[in-house]
A and B are shown apart, each in its own frame.
Chain A
Amino acid sequence: MKISRLLIYIVLIIFAIFYLMPVYVLLATSFKSFAEVNLRDMWKLPKNLSFESFITAWKGNPQRGLRGLSQNFMNSIYLVIPATIISALLGSMNGYVLTKWRFKGADIIFPILLFGMFIPYQSILIPLVQVLQKTKLYGSILGLIFVHSVYGIPITTLIFRNYYATIPSEIIEAAKIDGAGFAGIYRRIIFPVSMPGFAVVMIWQFTSIWNDFLFGLVVAPNPSVQPITVALNNLAGSYFVEWNIQMAGALLTALPPLLVYIFLGRYFMRGLLAGSLSGT
């Protein structure tokens, strides 16, 4: 028994090392100075901590034609905050209607909305680019906010629908008898108890919109409006093979969702499980 337990811990630790290995290399490399970066020493710790890579990854180096990520980091912030809020509000409304104001056909509308969450976006990209170009939203952060708000509707509706299903309908019925209407019930009963639902949805949307690559790549070809994921890929794809700067850039790109995961992991998990429909 003792040995088998020890064995379990050893296996768990070996797996932990596997999952942490990229993080180790990422950290070790990004804290090295350019002089110290050498492929053969990639597993070695830096001799002394250098922040040179982070400064270059953030500010860029105009002399060498290297764009920094600071502007793209801010683009991602300007994009992710409104898109998260808009898609969460739409999802909350939809979830409220679909659980508490059910009407004929609601059972058909819900799966029709939900399917939008699974489609490969390749199947809508060509018309999307056409329409965005016609409406002058193409190549703008506003366009990206719009796109993420629209394609966020299915998942936010799903999570809010499951969440509102746990609120007893009797309360709503009682409020209706007291003469409260659609908006009044939302404002006084539903919205005040919605905070955990909003937390799950907003964390989910924040993470997925921040991590998006395809829409950023196709809708924002101009470097000055690109989100950070696209800019990171360009940074890594440039012919300056400076691993320390690439790794520092990767860390900057990964940091916001990682912080969310570390500090709000409980809500992150709930969104994760909801995304697999197992919450239904």
Chain B
Amino acid sequence: MKKVNKEKIVPILFLLPSVILIAIFVYGFIAWTGVVSLVNWNNVFPDYTFVGLKNYIELFGNYRFQISIKNLFVFTILFITSSLIIGLFLAILLDRKIKGENIFRNIYLFPMAISFVVTGVVWRWLLNPGTGGAGGSVGINMLLDKIGLSFLKSGWYTDPRIGIKAVVIAAVWQMSGYVMAMYLAGIRGIPTELFEAAQVDGASTWGVYRFIVLPLLRPITLGAIIVLGHISLKIFDLVFAMTGSGAGFSCDVPALFMYDTTFRGNYFSQGASIAIILLISVAVLIIPYLRYSLRSEVKR
């Protein structure tokens, strides 16, 4: 009897430090942030006077917050759809028995290994709307001039009408290869018999992709949307390094707003309420997905 107990207790003891750390540093801290968002700590010195939902109400009336939410929405939609389309397109092309597939794949995927900050610094320069002081154009704009696509030239992140969409270009550059890798792994996982059977039935290459491959890739699309979605909702480093909040906050996102509010402005409670809204938006995406994927795992 004693041995049975010991056998159960020892493994739990080894798991315990991690469980305690996560309990405190994730859940405890989230609760703490929740409390901060409900008090009046909008100064350097902690003030835990309860004010209810005041910070949230003020937040929704805040001009910068409204823009940052709108930007986040635009960023998320454009970033996810572009990455999915480019990733799937490249995966399908690479699946066509391409010579040098490895080289292409590595070229498309390497940005994934780089820090968002490096990406931001480099793309800030590439999308520079400057003239180089001589009335010409520089960076991508100069390239567009050279290949005869001058009409595509723009002020990029300095143009309030474009703003956050310029950041999307850099984000897609960094993450679309990841989607390609996921799709390619998915396509390669489909049993070849399925393709052969379809070809015997006289399906065209296009038909095979449309009616066999695409439906089978649905779980991967879902996985990619979850990964890209939670990266997108949290996007911070890229915007911080590339543009900052931009002219008239045209490049601003909530994570950046939270940082400025809290750590530059010392409006801790206001910052906490932004953080809680961010957390809820991520949780709405992630919790159903975790339930779904862990449940389907049990079935298998």
Contacts and interface: CB of A to CB of B under 8 A. Distances in A.
Contacts of A177: none
Contacts of B164: none
B187 interface: no
Interface string A245-280: 011011001100110110001001100110111101
Contacts, number: 258
Interface in A153-208: 153-154, 157, 181-183, 207
Interface in A71-96: 90, 93-94, 96
A260 to B, nearest CB: 7
Nearest to B278: A120
Given A22-B126, A128-B29, A181 B10 contact: yes
Interface stretch (B55-63, B135-143, B148-156, B194-202): B135-143
A128 B121 contact: no
A182 B7 contact: yes
Contacts of B293: 277, 280
Interface residues of B, number: 102
Given A22-B173, A128-B29, A232 B18 contact: no
Interface string B183-214: 00100000000000000000000000000000
A42 B263 contact: no
Interface string B270-295: 01101110110011001101110110
B160 interface: no
A240 interface: no
A11 interface: yes
Interface string B22-50: 10011111101100100000000000000
A150 interface: yes
Contacts of B143: 43
A117 B263 CA distance: 23
Given A127-B29, A128-B29, A233-B240, A39 B122 contact: no
A39 B29 contact: no
- In this complex, the interface size class of chain A, counting residues with CB under 8 Å from chain B, is 35 or more
A181 to B, nearest CB: 7
A8 B29 contact: no
A239 interface: no
Interface in B83-133: 86, 90, 93-94, 96, 98, 104, 106-126, 128, 130, 132-133
A9 B97 CA distance: 11
A17 B228 CA distance: 24
A93 B15 contact: yes
Contact of A19 (B108, B223, B230): B108
